[in-house]
């Protein structure tokens, strides 16, 4: 343990499972109510299949945890109407980031990309619905994410709606997730430096995870100093997530992962394990976890328990 | 000519070419400056290839024409700073709808969809860059459309930014363009009624064309009565566009179209020509054009010359 003050002690005294269960219930209910509404039958089915009943929902939980942390610093406390608008904004942001994540998986699994047939223990969308429908479902899910963020609902300030769209579009686009996937695509079979690998993952998975944290914070006008700290937290957790993903790809089996294990090595993709070795990669994940806790301590936010526990969960998960 | 007052006389006394040339210059310059910025090299190249140097830019022109019409009804006249913000919003909206259109073409041309190799007289994006890069470029273009609409620029009111995102997301998503493409996909080889065909096209191409008009209007707070009239205009022009597309697919050649002609008939897709016959389809296009002009006359907007001329251009174009 470093001498820096961190928040790693918080997680052990706090019930992440209970907190997650409550919020996952809200997210699942909302996604189930919203996704595919008004879509032609076949497309709506594919969209719902891609999103519902699966996934860890890490990104929505990060949104809601960051929202709670930001809310804990609000003075004066929001009145009931402001609070109801902020809660609704956070729930919509939580669902929107999950839609972006879900669409990226649908497209990523397609034959022209990773050509994967198993995802979350089920046939992938293109296997189930055909490639054309999978392509369209992914496209429609991305559009729907932005529709969710911009309801005709006066409780959610226009500036919050616009900020959330800005953050999500940036995290999802060519300077974020899609850009990272393009680098990934171009780097198969190449030997990357650790810096190049970090840059790829900072975009490919890190941008949306970090974006989730910042979007949650934006729903409750977080103070500027705390915003910078949350960005550091998001960056550390985002990178840790990918390092652990690479580790799990080597040490876990397909049944536990719910997707094809050993895939990265088989397709000759550079990973943290292939670059650093297994033990150093595990050590690196631990360092990133410490950085995340240190950032939370530096944020000055009164209640960062959910964020602290989620960081632990990201690094200690088995799938 | 019907007895209803229309605006069809305006077009002949007004220089659409000069107006278009000016605004197309602005749009091309802005797209060239914005698209692919900050993207990894390969992805940025594919994005720029998909968007730049091609296309009629009908949607951007509709945005800018509707913006001008709405602006002509503004009282009091906007001051210089308000005007500069509104102009910037309209230019961004014009580019954003074009990005959505461009991404839909990239994905639509892919082998799992229409499997087309020629677009705007050039190899399609997946032929030029590979399928994986085409998929990602389309995805990134969609995200970038929303990024363009939400700049960190105080001249553009947050409520305008949020409204534009809401309109674009709805027009592009499962209740708009993507939904129409899914119906199209499901209807190959089926015999549709005219009502079913109209519904498919209302979503597939109509939603984004109508959305372009409404987004332009939103950049200059159009009066509610005029908004409804513009919606009617947009719906009529959107449908007319598709009817004319179906006609051109039959009567024009590939060189003029810049894409493969006769494609719809070859792939057994229902069209207005296959459903109504060529001459009735041409007559229907003429009726829709009259509806568009009647809607403009009913809008009460002082200056609808550009919108009137664009409606004529949509119906009388040769490609």
Return the CATH number of A8-316, one of 1.10.10.10, 1.10.600.10, 3.30.110.60, 3.10.20.600. 1.10.600.10
Taking the C-alpha atoms of residue A101 and residue A181, their distance in angstroms, rounded to an integer, is 13
Q: Residue B135: closest CA among chain A residues belongs to which residue?
A: A107
Q: What is the DSSP string of B252-296?
A: S-HHHHTS-TTHHHHTT---HHHHH-HHHHHHHHHHHHHHHHHHH
CB within 8 Å: A113 and B133: no
Taking the C-alpha atoms of residue B117 and residue B195, their distance in angstroms, rounded to an integer, is 31
Return the residue in B97, B129, B143, B197 with the most chain A beta carbons within 10 A, the one to mutate for interface testing: B143
For residue B189, the SS3 value is coil
Which residues touch B295 (CB under 8 Å, ≥6 apart)? B229, B230, B232, B233, B236
Q: What is the DSSP string of chain A?
A: --SS--SHHHHHTS-HHHHHHHHHHHHHHHHHHHTTTTS-HHHHHHHHHHHSS-S--HHHHHHHHHHHHHHTT-SSPP-HHHHHHHHHHHHHHHHHHHHHHHHHHHHHTSTTTT---EETTEE-HHHHH-HHHHHHHHHHHHHHHHHHHS-S-TTS-HHHHHHHHHHHHHHHSTTTHHHHHHHHHHTTTS---HHHHHHHHIIIIIHHHHHHHHHHHHTTT--HHHHHHHHHHHHHHHHHHHHHHHHHHHHS-HHHHTB-TTHHHHTT---HHHHH-HHHHHHHHHHHHHHHHHHHHHH--S--HHHHHHHHHHHH---
Determine the average pLDDT of the residues in A107-120: 94
Instruction: Give residue A215's pLDDT.
Output: 98
Chain A residue numbers touching B48 (CB-CB < 8 A): none
Q: Residue A44: closest CA among chain B residues belongs to which residue?
A: B174
Look at chain A and count its residues: 319
Please provide the distance, in angstroms rounded to a whole number, between the alpha carbons at the two ends of chain B: 25
Instruction: Give residue B263's pLDDT.
Output: 66
Q: Which positions of chain B have pLDDT values less than 70? A: 1-6, 8-13, 253-267
Residue from B166, B301, B280 nearest B229 by CA? B301
Structure tokens at A262: 């050993």
CB within 8 Å: A175 and B47: no
Taking the C-alpha atoms of residue A195 and residue A184, their distance in angstroms, rounded to an integer, is 14
Give the pLDDT confidence of B108-161 residue by residue, as tens digits: 999 999 999 998 889 999 999 999 999 999 999 999 999 999 999 999 999 999
Chain B residue numbers touching A47 (CB-CB < 8 A): 174
Determine the average pLDDT of the residues in A223-245: 95
B143 CA: distance to closest CA in chain A (Å): 5
Residue from B209, B195, B163, B199 nearest B179 by CA? B199
* Window from A8-12, A38-42, B75-79 with minimum mean pLDDT: A8-12
A&B contacts, CB < 8 Å:
176
A101 CA: distance to closest CA in chain B (Å): 12
Taking the C-alpha atoms of residue A233 and residue A88, their distance in angstroms, rounded to an integer, is 24
Taking the C-alpha atoms of residue B3 and residue A309, their distance in angstroms, rounded to an integer, is 72
Chain A residue numbers touching B101 (CB-CB < 8 A): none
Taking the C-alpha atoms of residue A170 and residue A207, their distance in angstroms, rounded to an integer, is 8
Q: What is the dihedral of CA A212, A214, A219, A224, to 10 degrees?
A: 170
Which residues touch B83 (CB under 8 Å, ≥6 apart)? none
Residue A235 in contact with residue A244, Cβ under 8 Å?
no
Determine the average pLDDT of the residues in A170-182: 97
Q: Which of A112, A140, A173 shows the shortest C-beta gap to B147?
A: A173
CB within 8 Å: A179 and B132: no
Structure tokens at A132: 């054309």
Is the interface score ipTM higher than 0.85?
Answer: yes
Return the residue in A34, A35, A138, A162 with the most chain B beta carbons within 10 A, the one to mutate for interface testing: A162
pLDDT interval class at A3 (50, 70, 90): very low
User: For helices B177-186 and A41-51, what crossing angle results, to 10°?
Assistant: 110
Chain B residue numbers touching A179 (CB-CB < 8 A): 38-40, 43, 140
Instruction: Give residue B5's pLDDT.
Output: 61
Determine the average pLDDT of the residues in A42-61: 94
In the CATH scheme, what is the code of domain B8-314? 1.10.600.10
Mean of all residue pLDDT scores within chain A: 91
Instruction: Give residue A189's pLDDT.
Output: 80
CB within 8 Å: A143 and B181: no
CB within 8 Å: A110 and B135: yes
Taking the C-alpha atoms of residue B205 and residue B180, their distance in angstroms, rounded to an integer, is 8
CB within 8 Å: B152 and A133: no
Instruction: Give residue B155's pLDDT.
Output: 94
Residues pairing with A259 in the sheet: A119
Q: Which of B145, B147, B179 shows the shortest C-beta gap to A166?
A: B147
Residue A243 in contact with residue A272, Cβ under 8 Å?
yes
Q: Residue A134: closest CA among chain B residues belongs to which residue?
A: B112
Residues pairing with A118 in the sheet: A123
CB within 8 Å: B113 and A135: yes
pLDDT interval class at A14 (50, 70, 90): confident
Give the pLDDT confidence of A291-309 residue by residue, as tens digits: 999 999 999 999 999 999 9
Chain B residue numbers touching A159 (CB-CB < 8 A): 158
Q: Considering chain A, what percentage of its residues have pLDDT values greater than 90?
A: 76
B68 CA: distance to closest CA in chain A (Å): 24
pLDDT interval class at A76 (50, 70, 90): confident
Q: Considering chain A, what percentage of its residues have pLDDT values greater than 70?
A: 91
Structure tokens at B86: 């509104």
Q: Cis peptide leading into B144, omega within 30 of 0?
A: no
Taking the C-alpha atoms of residue A76 and residue A258, their distance in angstroms, rounded to an integer, is 45
Residues pairing with A122 in the sheet: A119
Structure tokens at B246: 């179906």
Which residues touch B250 (CB under 8 Å, ≥6 apart)? B262, B265, B271, B273, B278
CB within 8 Å: A162 and B158: yes
CB within 8 Å: A178 and B43: yes
Chain A residue numbers touching B135 (CB-CB < 8 A): 107, 110, 112-113, 135
Determine the average pLDDT of the residues in A240-269: 76
Return the residue in B178, B200, B207 with the most chain A beta carbons within 10 A, the one to mutate for interface testing: B178
- The DSSP code for B118 is E
């Amino acid at each position: 343990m470093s001498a820096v003050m961190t928040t790693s002690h918080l997680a052990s005294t706090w019930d992440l499972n209970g907190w997650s269960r409550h919020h996952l219930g809200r997210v699942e209910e909302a996604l189930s109510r919203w996704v595919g509404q008004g879509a032609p039958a076949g497309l709506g089915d594919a969209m719902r299949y891609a999103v519902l009943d699966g996934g860890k929902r890490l990104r929505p939980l990060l949104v809601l945890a960051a929202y709670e942390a930001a809310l804990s610093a609000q003075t004066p406390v929001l009145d009931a109407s402001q609070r109801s608008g902020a809660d609704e904004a956070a729930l919509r942001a939580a669902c929107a980031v999950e839609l972006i994540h879900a669409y990226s998986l649908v497209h990523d699994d397609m034959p022209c990309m990773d050509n994967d047939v198993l995802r979350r223990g089920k046939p992938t969308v293109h296997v189930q619905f055909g490639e054309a429908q999978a392509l369209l479902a992914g496209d429609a899910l991305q559009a729907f994410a932005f529709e969710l963020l911009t309801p005709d609902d006066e409780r959610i300030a226009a500036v919050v709606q616009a900020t959330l769209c800005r953050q999500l579009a940036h995290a999802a686009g060519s300077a974020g997730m899609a850009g990272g996937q393009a680098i990934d695509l171009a780097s198969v079979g190449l030997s990357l430096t650790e810096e190049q690998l970090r840059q790829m993952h900072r975009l490919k998975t890190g941008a949306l995870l970090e974006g989730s944290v910042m979007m949650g914070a934006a729903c409750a006008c977080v103070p500027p100093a705390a915003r910078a700290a949350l960005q550091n937290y998001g960056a550390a957790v985002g990178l840790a997530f990918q390092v652990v993903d690479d580790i799990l790809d080597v040490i876990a089996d397909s049944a536990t992962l719910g997707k094809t294990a050993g895939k990265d090595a088989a397709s000759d993709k550079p990973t943290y394990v292939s670059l650093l070795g297994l033990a150093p990669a595990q050590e690196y994940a631990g360092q990133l976890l410490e950085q995340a806790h240190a950032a939370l301590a530096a944020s000055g936010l009164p209640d960062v328990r959910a964020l602290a526990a989620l960081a632990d969960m990201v690094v200690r998960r088995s799938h």
